[in-house]
Amino acid sequence: MHTQPPALPPPRAKNWFERNLLWLVPGIILFGIVVVCGFVGLLFGFMKSSDAYQGALTRIQKSPAAIEALGEPITDSFFFTGQINVTNSDGNARLEMGIKGSRAKATAYVVAYRSLGQWHYTQLILTVRGTDTRLDLSDPAKPEADALSRQSIP
């Protein structure tokens, strides 16, 4: 007598994680990238909206020498480096900003300090790329500054 072997049990049902793994991992990675990019964009936005940054950019945009060298309109590039420190009505800033006009691009080196809520630009040097042109747009009567703003720009 020949008996039939027992039937195989039905395959185990996949849980939610096993069923959705193919889209879940790329989704988590994409979410992480979006969060990091959003944080960096927010950080740049806060820094670029600061009084020190906007004051330096406005000074460059209104300078006849900068307009002649770069052309109009004068705008800033997205990326910049530096630091801005503000405590109550005092502070200091060291920035390196990309600047572009209709005819040329430049880099602005900014050293400023804030006293009683007012920014003073002890050094605002604009170097035009591809030329030896260096424009000094600093405060005419360079006021006495704290130790950070006394450091020279390369």
* Domain locations along the chain: 13-49, 51-150
Residue 5's pLDDT is 84
Distance CA 154, CA 139 (A): 18
Residue 148's pLDDT is 45
Counting Cβ atoms within 10 Å, is residue 50 exposed (0-12), middle (13-18) or buried (19+)? Answer: middle
Q: What is the pTM of this model?
A: 0.72
Quote the distance between the C-alpha of residue 137 and its chain's center: 22
Using 70 as the pLDDT threshold, list the residues of the chain that sit under it.
1, 141-154
Residue 147's pLDDT is 44
Residue 8's pLDDT is 86
Architecture of domain 51-150 in this structure:
Roll (3.10)
Residue 43's pLDDT is 86
Distance CA 80, CA 88 (A): 24
Residue 150's pLDDT is 47
Residue 18's pLDDT is 85
Residue 1's pLDDT is 65
Going by C-beta distance under 8 Å and a sequence separation of 6 or more, which residues neighbour residue 34?
none
Residue 64's pLDDT is 93
The answer to whether 66 and 73 have CB atoms below 8 angstroms apart is no
